[in-house]
Structure 1
């Protein structure tokens, strides 16, 4: 994985408030042009909410009828309609402390509220859901950006996740295209010649976390270019999900 001596994170500014059916690739290409243009091996990191909005992955609470299970999970302090959307987006409720829920999504991600979020939603009482297929979303954006720019770039669709053993959130990769999401060091040796038996580096998550330094919910910058590290390759975000048989937290 060759890299230059400098890794740069370049915010893509000036995008409008996104709506369903907006051409996100065109908007990202224009923003990249204002920032000096895309280069070969750049990784374009796009916030999940930007992707979800243009794909129409929003729900209005006025249209939601809560189930008994949702009312139970909401407890006294939550909105059962919000919890109903979480239940619908979940494959499994992993833990709950009403109204807080940790769930496994249909994609296999284990996260708060099954990724359902009201922040930066397009209106009051509106929730934004995860893309149906974040890898497919990343592939579509990459193909369009390649045609528009003529360069080979990777794309990551990112979102903020908590971690079971650490305080705070950090961005991780929900979808990837054109990059190898994991760097497998098993079978190689460390600086003292010892064989590495388990080490795998979550490169896509590291890049997503770096990009988040210039993104953020309050800054209205939904995308960034990470430049200076060549991780071109193949793979999917599913490679980053811990297999159930190795999950010590469930």
Structure 2
């Protein structure tokens, strides 16, 4: 049996502004790219346009750093106002050194700087260097809203992933990872399934949402490509309800803490 999966970057996505209706924008982008949604299709969406639409822009000139932020800024050589935002978005600071601040985000994943970013961020006024972008307030809820809007228009069962670029504890470089999901299995449990020789798998769980996020991130790009949305057809697992929590490793099992 031939198995294939097609990933298509949507062209013509406009620059997203606070308050924009992403569901409507994506619907018209699909039509202009000649794509008719089918059952089982998935849209993979860069976190940045979701955050922009939700108005998650912050101007550092309006942030007053705490004493903790001031101290961490001294230790990491970062702007204390930026560090203050990182602390507000985090459950805990896990590691730091000059130039690096690793935290547990309040949604449970570990990342640098709580996902707060300067790149490809256009401010509303003042000094452009003072503007940063936070992750969506609730990435799962964002994914659910976009999915519902597209399901209402198309009448098909589709999935939505919201992804970001994260580093990994044991490898160099960043990869695309899922931070919000709706209608796509985040984790596929293959324990109990036989391998080629009839041996029952005992520990295999597939981070299917992360694998798809990494594939989509390859064609999205990381700089000025303007490809923040990827349409996916042929995902090899059945769609189902899920949430990011499926991917979160319990703290007592995390050997990198």
TM-score by length of 1: 0.95
1:69 and 2:75 are equivalent in the alignment: no
- 1:32 counterpart (26, 30, 35): 30
Q: 1:158: Cα distance to partner?
A: 0.5
Q: Which runs of 5+ in 1 are unaligned?
A: none
Q: 1:39: Cα distance to partner?
A: 2.0
1:108 and 2:108 are equivalent in the alignment: yes
CA distance in 2, matches of 1:139, 1:224: 17
**TM superposition outliers: structure 1 runs of 4+ over 4 Å:** none
CA distance in 2, matches of 1:13, 1:103: 34
Which residue in 1 is equivalent to 2:45?
A: 46
- 1:193 counterpart (186, 190, 198): 198
Which residue in 2 is equivalent to 1:143?
A: 148
Which residue in 1 is equivalent to 2:226?
A: 220
Alignment of 1:167-182 (within 5 A): 167-182=172-187
State the Cα deviation string for residues 149-172 of structure 1 (Å, max 9, x = none).
Answer: 222210001001111011111111
Match of 2:23, SS state, is: helix
Range that drifts further, 49-58 or 211-220: 211-220
TM-score by length of 2: 0.92
CA distance in 2, matches of 1:98, 1:60: 23
Residues 77 and 99 in structure 1, CA contact (< 8 A), matched pair in contact too? yes
CA distance in 1, matches of 2:214, 2:238: 15
Which residue in 2 is equivalent to 1:12?
A: 10
Match of 2:44, SS state, is: strand
State the Cα deviation string for residues 194-233 of structure 1 (Å, max 9, x = none).
Answer: 2211100001111111111111232111111111124311
Match of 1:19, SS state, is: coil
CA distance in 1, matches of 2:243, 2:25: 24
Q: 1:146: Cα distance to partner?
A: 0.8
CA distance in 2, matches of 1:28, 1:77: 40
Q: 1:18: Cα distance to partner?
A: 0.6
1:163 and 2:168 are equivalent in the alignment: yes
State the Cα deviation string for residues 60-94 of structure 1 (Å, max 9, x = none).
Answer: 01101112221222227321111111111111000
Which residue in 1 is equivalent to 2:93?
A: 93
CA distance in 2, matches of 1:61, 1:90: 17
Alignment of 1:199-218 (within 5 A): 199-218=204-223
Match of 1:213, SS state, is: helix
Range that drifts further, 71-80 or 228-237: 71-80
State the Cα deviation string for residues 91-128 of structure 1 (Å, max 9, x = none).
Answer: 10000113410000110011011111111112321111
Q: 1:4: Cα distance to partner?
A: 5.9
1:245 and 2:245 are equivalent in the alignment: no
